[in-house]
Amino acid sequence: MIPSIAEAATLIAARKLSPVELTEACLARAERLDGQLHAFIRLMPEEARAVARTAEARIMKEGPRGPLDGIPFAHKDIYGTAGIPTTAHSRVLQEHVPAMDATTVAKLAAAGVIPFGKLATHEFAFGGPSFDLPWPPARNPWNPDHFTAGSSSGTGAAVAAGMVLGGTGSDTGGSIRGPAALCGITGIKPTYGLCSRAGILPLAQSLDHAGPMAWTVEDCAILLQAMAGHDPADPASANRPVPDFRAELGRGVKGLRVGVIRHFHETDHPVSPATLAGIEGAAAFFRAEGAEVRDVTLPSLAEFNACGWIILLAEAFAVHEGWMRQDPNLYGELLRDRLVLGGLLSAADILQAQKRRRALIAATEAASAECDLLLTAAQPGEAPRIEAVPKWAFLEKPNFTIPFNVTGWPGITVPTGFGEGRLPVAMQLVAKPFAEPLLFCAADAYEKAHAWRATRPAMAA
């Protein structure tokens, strides 16, 4: 059995599971599977074993620091790690070794996680899947011929396959929620500013969010508890108390008001039959459990996407302009061509997008005034074959996740079953700013009511 973080923490605290044994089991799985999945850019077995031995000795003497003590974990390779290369999956930073940990890396280390290494990403969290980089793209554990989504591709694959029990992701337009959906795990993009981004390589700073990915909703709540908090090193960091993210688990959804953004997934970008059935099933579950479920109408997906992608491209080009001018050929073709679009935008384009962003946030607030949660798709369907992903996929059809990067609202992806080819499908739940405990409450209630959530990819057995 591959335990969840919560299950492993209970067993470790009861001295029924050794962090060393858990680490060895996960390492054995990583060494067996990663040649097919390419989830890791850098797997560090000896470092993991050394930290696990130290953790076990400390736990035997003093007890665990908390629910993350002794838990196998890995970081997306845009999270700065002191003395360990942080490459962003790119030639540009192939030799880059940070002097300091990112704030969230340091927080998780203090909580006792066992660091397994650095996970694959789309190049600089935007260019992928790319096949002309120093490392291959990550592949989906449910079927390695298929895509993971991005950009937190390695984290999605590693968690789903049980190589680690949790990992970090980043989300600028859906890069936590997309891989969570296609890999059949849970991932949360917290409220903008809840988790520090200091020490994390940026993509577009007014849209970037840091957050956790894990097998279950409760696991994500445990991880977010360790990651969240004010950090003066991040100018956008929210200076407010961190709530108990597990406080509402088990409360149920009776009395909650759930707004289904039906036009997103039925009209603006129609989803696959299995995805639609999963969303309808989730709405029916919430209604049967005592929630009030209604339809809500937001501005169209196309409006959110036009606004969000203009801002993202402009801010990403600003990050990369210097390197692009020095040697654009260090980048993979896909990212290089995408970044060039940002250099073609005018000041008027950018200002209009920023103005439109304010209007979209106001419209979302007004449409959601009588709702506690919003429900829609996270991905349009099952994972496509990896070689069939179009180069300009993000421009061809609007995605379901970037609206809540534009607003900064928290969103969580939760699997809703399986579709064609026994590939996972998922829903997205969204809450108002800093309402993560409520989001976890509803997502956990749904998840624990469906026994098929225990099913792992066959290759992980």
Which positions ≥6 away from 147 have C-beta within 8 Å? 129, 139, 140, 182, 383, 384, 385, 386, 389
The residue assigned the tokens 């790690």 is: 81
383-402 burial, b for 16+ CB within 10 Å, e for fewer? bbebeebeeeebeeebbbbb
In whole angstroms, give the CA distance from residue 419 to residue 384: 12
Are the CB atoms for 176 and 224 separated by under 8 Å? no
Helices (H), 255-300: 262-263, 273-288
Is the peptide bond between 98 and the residue preceding it cis, with omega within 30 degrees of 0? no
Between the CA atoms of 120, 121, 123 and 124, what dihedral angle is there, to the nearest 10 degrees? -120
30-46 burial, b for 16+ CB within 10 Å, e for fewer? beebbeebbbbbbbbbe
Are the CB atoms for 295 and 266 separated by under 8 Å? no
User: Residue 82: how many CB atoms within 10 A of its CB?
Assistant: 15
Bridge partner list, 385: 146
SS3 259: strand
Bridge partner list, 376: 428
Q: 12 vs 58, 68, 69, 179, 203, CA distance in Å?
A: 12, 10, 8, 29, 38
Between the CA atoms of 295, 299, 303 and 308, what dihedral angle is there, to the nearest 10 degrees? -80
List active site positions. 76, 151, 175
Q: Please tell me the number of Cα atoms within 13 Å of 271 on its side-chain side.
A: 29
In whole angstroms, give the CA distance from residue 26 to residue 40: 13
| DSSP state string for 170-230 | EESSSTTHHHHHHHT-EEEE--TTSB--TTBPPS-TTT-EEEEEESSHHHHHHHHHHHBS-
In whole angstroms, give the CA distance from residue 166 to residue 184: 13
Helices (H), 328-430: 333-343, 347-367, 393-396, 403-406
